[in-house]
Amino acid sequence: MEKSSLFPSGTFLFLLLVLLNVSASVAAPTPESVYTSFLECLTNYTKAQDQVSNIVFAQTNASFSSVLQAYIRNARFNTTSTPKPLLVVTPSEDPHVQGAVICAKSIGIQLKIRSGGHDYEGISYVSDQPFIILDMFHFRNITVDVENEVAVVQAGATLGEVYYRIWEKSKVHGFPAGVCPTVGVGGHLSGGGYGNMLRKHGLSVDHVVDAKIVDVKGRILDKESMGEDLFWAIRGGGGASFGVILSYTVKLIPVPEVVTVFRIAKSLDQNESATELVLQWQQVAPHTDHRLFMRLLLQPVSSKVVKGQRTIRATVMALFLGGADEVVTLMGKEFPALGLSKENCTELSWIDSVLWWGNFDNTTKPDALLDRDLNSASFLKRKSDYVQKPIPKKGLEGIWEKMIELGKTGFVFNPYGGKMSEVSSDATPFPHRAGNLFKIQYSVNWDDPGVELEKNFTSQAKMLYSYMTPFVSSDPRSAFLNYRDLDIGTNSFGKNSYEEGAVYGVKYFNDNFKRLVKIKTEVDPENFFRNEQSIPIHPGQ
C-alpha cells in the first residue's frame, strides 16, 4: 500500500528550497538589502532624505573604509580578515540616533556603538554577527558653565577636547578623567573613567550629575525620566548595554594654579634598588597625601650595563596638586627610596600637566589637545588586576624573572586610596573602592602585523597574568571594565546566557552585577543592546 503524503514530491522539494533560501537570507542579510531597508526606514523617521544619505555609509561607498578605520585604535582589528560592518552610521543630530536604534531593531540587526574607538578588544566596531556601527564622532559639542561649575559633554567628544574647553573658560577648573587625550567620553565615562586625580577627586562617574540616553524604544531620556536605576547603571556599568549615550553633564572640580609633575626611573642593573623602590611604593602610593598620584611603570628593557642582557626598569610618573617644595619634603619623609629632589620636578599649570601626561613636549600649546590623531593605531593587548595586599620582596623578584623570561609585557600600577576609599562600592556600578591598594594594567604593544606575532605577544600577556594569580584579588579575581579583556569570558551571540554573562560580569562588577542584570532586564528585555561582554538579561526572560 502506498504511503500518503501532504505534498507531491516536487512541491515538497520546491517548498523546502524556498524555506532554505528564506532561512539563509535571514541568517546572512546582504549589505545591499540592509542598506536599502535601513535607509528607507531612517528617511521615513527623520523626514530628511538628503541628510540621511550623507550619514549612512554602505560598503560600496568610496568613503566606507576611511570612515570605518579612522577610529580604530587597535591595529589588531584593522586587517582584511577583520569582520566589517554592513553599514557605518555617523549621526550628527539626536533624531539620527533615535532613528538608527529604531531602524536597526526593526530589521533585526545588531547595533555597535563607538565614541572614541579605544575599546581594547574592538567590541565597539567588530562582531562575528551581521552588524551596523553607530559612530558618534560628530557628537562632540561641549558647553562649559563656569558659574555653575558644570559642563555638558556629548558622547563623541574626546577627553582632550573636554580639558581644552574647560581651560578656555577657567584656569582653576578641571575634570578628573583619563590621561590619553583621544579617548572618547561615551565609553570612558560609562565604564567608570579615571585619571591622575582619582585619589583626590575619585572617578569621572563620581562627578556625573545628569545624562541623556536613547533607549531601546528610541526615546531620549534624562536623569529624571530614565529613573534612578538606569542613571546608576550608565555611570560605570557600560552604556552600550542599556542604550546610546548622547551626553553627560559633569561637575567641574577645582585645580590649583600651580601643580607639580615628575618622572624618576631606576633599573635593577645599575646598582639602583628598583626592588626597594617598588616595595616602598606599595606602602606609600595608596596612603600618602590625597593630592599625590604616583603611577608606577614596570618594563623589561635592554640592560645598559651588560650588553645582550635584559633588566627591569621601574618608572614613577606623578602629579601633585600643589608646589614642588611641598612634594619634595613629603617624599623625603615617606618615600626615601625615590630620591626625589626639586631638580626632578616641574611646576606648571594644570592644562600643561595634561600635555605632559599626554607625552607632548614642553613647548606644545593646549590646542594640541584638539587633535584626534586618527589612523595612528599600534597593535596592543591589555589585561587588568587588583592588588589588595603588598607584594613581598621575594614575590617581586620572581615577577622580575618572569617578565624578563617572557620578553616584552610590562605593568602599569595605578594607586588607589584617598577618595577611592571613601566612596561606597555600590554608589556606582564600579565596585573597586576601599580595600584595593592599586590596579594593575598588563601592557604589550608591537608594530608589525602577523598572526604569529599577535599570538606570541598576547600569549605573553596571558602567561604573566597567570603567574600573578597568587598576588591579586580572588573570589572574584576582579577586572576593570574600561580595560576590556575578552580572555575573562564572553557571551555567545544567538542566545542570551546569564551563566556566560556572570563569568565576566562578576569580575567587572562584583556584587553590583545582579543589580545591573535586573536593570537591563527591565529596560531592554529583548536584549537588543548587546555585545560580547554586555550585561545579560535575567534568566527566564
Active site residues: 483
Q: How many Cβ atoms from other residues are within 10 Å of residue 180's Cβ?
A: 18
- Measure the CA–CA gap between 245 and 204, rounded to whole angstroms: 15
How far from 388 is each of 300, 432, 439, 477, CA to CA, in Å?
Answer: 24, 10, 9, 11
Q: Which helix (H) or strand (E) holds 9?
A: helix 9-27
User: Exposed, middle or buried, 16 (CB in 10 Å: 0-12/13-18/19+)?
Assistant: exposed
- Measure the CA–CA gap between 95 and 88, rounded to whole angstroms: 16
User: Exposed, middle or buried, 169 (CB in 10 Å: 0-12/13-18/19+)?
Assistant: middle
Name the amino acid, one letter, at 258.
V
Contacts of 304 (CB under 8 A, 6+ apart): 267, 269, 270
**Among candidate residues 183, 215, 229, 250, the one with its CA nearest the CA of residue 94:** 215
488, 384 in Cβ contact below 8 A? no
DSSP 366-404: GGGGG----S--BEEEEEEEEE-SPPPHHHHHHHHHHHH
Residues 314-349 as b/e (b if ≥16 CB within 10 A, e otherwise) read bbbbbbbbbebeebbebbeebbebbebeeebbbbbb
Cell matching residue 502: 556572570
Strand order in the sheet with 56-58: 56-58, 87-89, 131-135, 110-114
Give the HSE-up count for residue 313: Cα atoms under 13 Å, Cβ half-sphere.
17
The residues facing 294 across adjacent strands are 318
